[in-house]
């Protein structure tokens, strides 16, 4: 039986998007209250009754949150152009070694705008 779990995290960060046209609001320095949903998926072990301990997801994400929270994202190596798309891919690449069952990363940049990355 396939199960998918989702654990959500929040962080505050500033960025600007250098590839946007001059004069575009996203080209100016601004911040967001980001929400990241970490999805893991796999077969439910019948003898265990759970797929992954939510605490393990939290522990795996904690070092990333420390690197992202209250930071200027453009200064983080690999995030020089920190679009929601690039941020989702960056989080995936950083998190996948610690979470082999990682299935998707959803980055909510605002309450109404999100990006979902399901891996390469």
**Is 109 a known active-site residue?**
yes
Fold of 2-117: Tetrahydropterin Synthase; Chain A (3.30.479)
From the list 24, 66, 70, 80, the catalytic residue is: 70
What's the mean pLDDT when you consider all of the chain? 97
The residues spanned by each domain of the chain are 2-117
| 61-78 tens-digit pLDDT | 999 999 999 999 999 999
34-70 burial string, b = 16+ CB within 10 Å, else e?
bbbebbbbbeeeeeeeebbeeeebeebbeebeeebee
Instruction: Give kind and range of the element (H or E) at residue 57.
Output: helix 54-68
Question: β-strand 71-72 against 2-15: which pairing, if any?
Answer: parallel
Q: Looking at the whole model, is its pTM more than 0.85?
A: yes
From the list 32, 39, 108, 109, the catalytic residue is: 109
**Is 94 a known active-site residue?**
no
**Is 111 a known active-site residue?**
no
Q: Rounded to an integer, what distance in angstroms lies between the CA atom of residue 16 and that of residue 83?
A: 9
From the list 26, 39, 80, 115, the catalytic residue is: 26
| 48-60 tens-digit pLDDT | 999 999 999 999 9
Which residue stretches of the chain have pLDDT < 50? none
């Amino acid at each position: 039986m396939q199960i998918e779990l989702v654990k959500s995290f929040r962080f505050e960060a500033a960025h600007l998007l250098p590839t946007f046209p001059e004069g575009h609001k996203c080209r100016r320095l601004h911040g967001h209250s980001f929400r990241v949903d970490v999805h893991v998926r796999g077969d439910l072990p019948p003898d265990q009754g759970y797929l992954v301990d939510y605490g393990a997801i939290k522990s795996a994400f904690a070092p990333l949150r420390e690197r992202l929270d209250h930071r200027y994202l453009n200064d983080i190596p690999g995030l020089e152009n920190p679009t929601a798309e690039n941020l989702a891919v960056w989080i995936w690449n950083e998190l996948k070694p610690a979470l082999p069952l990682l299935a998707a990363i959803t980055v909510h940049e605002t309450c109404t705008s999100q990006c979902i990355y399901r891996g390469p």
